[in-house]
Every structure is written in structure tokens, then in C-alpha cells.
A = this chain, B = another copy of it.
Amino acid sequence: MTKGSLYIISGPSGAGKGTVYDEVVARRPSIKKSISVTTRAPREGEIDGIHYYFKTMEEYQEMIAHGEFLETAEVYCNCYGTPKAPVLEMLDKGYDVMFEIDIHGAKNIKKQYPDAIAIFLMTPSFEILEERLRARGTESEDSIRRRLRAAKGELSKYKMFDYIVFNDNKEKAIDEVVSIIDAEKRKIKNNIEEINLILESKKK
């Protein structure tokens, strides 16, 4: 059985990663979400075990000590990590796994899995990014400035990504990410078994 593919959606805070991620996974049920572990406090509506596994810093440190993470990173004073076992299991079963993850996590996953398909989600400009961060109404002025600086640093690392999607229109962005997934499925390397089955059948 062909192993599943690993997808990464990354990009600056405010680019719309979460919404695009949720919609893409809803449209392509073969894709499984990876649920991250975090030490940050749940936002309103976030449920433990669905959006994140929420852990205390002590529990998190213990998981690190036991080597249970595929990647782990500290962002804005909180830890985020990807538990290794469920991801490897899903890929072996032929499912695809998709991560919505910050650029540090993306980099670490790419290091361990160079075949991971990394998609950078970006607004069409920094001005629009700023507007969206302000529209959240949850960010302090300091936090907005920090995130904008971070966004510039993140975009300048574009070379570590395979694809870039500009989220100027949510539906278009979702369509484009879905296209990327559908196209990846058609890559020769993901169809070697099917091709060999056809070639073998001719020998009979």
C-alpha cells in the first residue's frame, strides 16, 4: 500500500491558516488532522483532544523527556508540539496527515521528513495582514507589531516551502490547497504500485 503524504500548512498569524485547514480537511476526508499538544491556555470554544491537547508545562516537559514529539517549539512564550506516534501510524495506514503549524514547526518537520509538502499561506500584502490581526480584536498593539515583524521574517523563508497560496479570497485559497493535494496524488512517485499492477497484468 502506498504510504500517505504529509502536508504542512503554515504562514503568519492572521493569514487564515485555521479556517483554510478546517475546510480543506472537511473536503478531502482521506486527510487526517494532526492534533498538537500545547501549553497555552484554550481560547474560547477550543476543546481538549479536538483542537489541541492542552497540557501543563510539567506534563509537556515529561513528553519531551520521553521523546514523544515529532517536533516541538516555543512561540510567544507557549510550547507547541506534535506527538509522533499517531502521525506515523496514520501515514503507514495510507492516510494523509495535514499539519496547521507555525514556521518553526514546519521547519522541524521538513527536516525530519523532506518529502513533506509544505504550503505557505499568506495574505496578498502586509497591510491586509495587519487589518486581519486588528479585526480579531484579541491582540494588543504590541502583539500586532510583534506578529507583523514575525510575518516578514516568515515570508522571507519562503524557499523552505513547496507552494504558496495567497489568501485574498477564502474560497479560492481553499480550492487552491485542494488542487495541490489532488495534484500531489497524481505524482508518479505516488502511483508506482498502480503502474506496476497495470504493467504486470499485461504479462498474463
Contacts and interface: CB of A to CB of B under 8 A. Distances in A.
Interface of A: 119-120, 122, 124-126, 152, 155-156, 158-159, 161-166, 175-176, 178-180, 182-184, 186-188, 191, 194-195, 198-199, 201-202
A182 B161 CA distance: 17
A188 B201 contact: no
How many copies of this protein are present in the complex?
2
Most interface-central of A161, A162, A183, A188 (chain B CB within 10 A): A183
B186 A165 contact: yes
Given A182-B179, A188-B163, A125 B198 contact: yes
Contacts of A125: 198, 201
A92 to B, nearest CB: 23
B202 A188 contact: no
Nearest to A180: B183
Contact of A188 (B156, B158, B175): B158
The 9 closest A-B pairs by CB, nearest first: A183-B183, A179-B182, A179-B179, A163-B186, A180-B183, A179-B183, A164-B191, A126-B202, A158-B195
